[in-house]
Structure 1
Amino acid sequence: MLNALDVEANGFLYNMVRAISGTLINVGRGYWPVTYLAELIAAGDRTKAGPTAPACGLFLVRVAYDDSAT
């Protein structure tokens, strides 16, 4: 099975995309309902999220900079 996850942000925390991926996998497997994602974001507690997904298979496609930023 092949899945794609596009993440865009103006900054990233260490292992952030891997944590998001692991959490979404748990939701997809039915371990948690989709509504749990809103609760998780509101709680702001990384320990309540899913496992950190392995780095294999994840890759950086592009980095873009805002030209107006100085």
Structure 2
Amino acid sequence: FEIEGDGFLRFMVRNIVGTLVDVGLAKSTPKDFKRILLSKDRNLAGATAPPQGLYLMQVNY
């Protein structure tokens, strides 16, 4: 999948991926994922995903 935005905090994408992995492993639900994103509370998110396998595809100005 791709994550697109106009700016990211440090480890933000890795935190999102880690939380999505939890959804995939049925540790949380898609509704939980939405609630976590809307809460803007890092403490509710899943583990930070390792950087291996994640890469920057494009930068637009």
Same fold (TM over 0.5): yes
Superposition map of 1:1-70 within 5 A: 5-65=1-61
Query: How far apart are the structure 2 equivalents of 1:6 and 1:48?
Result: 22
Runs of 4+ in 1 over 6 A off after TM superposition: none
Could you say which structure has the higher helix fraction?
Answer: 2
How far apart are the structure 1 equivalents of 2:59 and 2:34?
Answer: 28
Identity %: 41
TM-score calculated relative to the size of structure 2: 0.92
Normalization by structure 1: what TM-score? 0.81
SS at match of 1:27: helix
Structural RMSD (CA):
0.9
Q: Distance in 2 between matches of 1:41 and 1:18?
A: 13
Q: State how many pairs are aligned.
A: 61
* Bigger Rg over Cα: 1
CA shift, 1:42, in A, is 2.6
**Per-residue CA distance 1:35-60 (angstroms, 9 max, x = gap):** 10121123221011000000011111
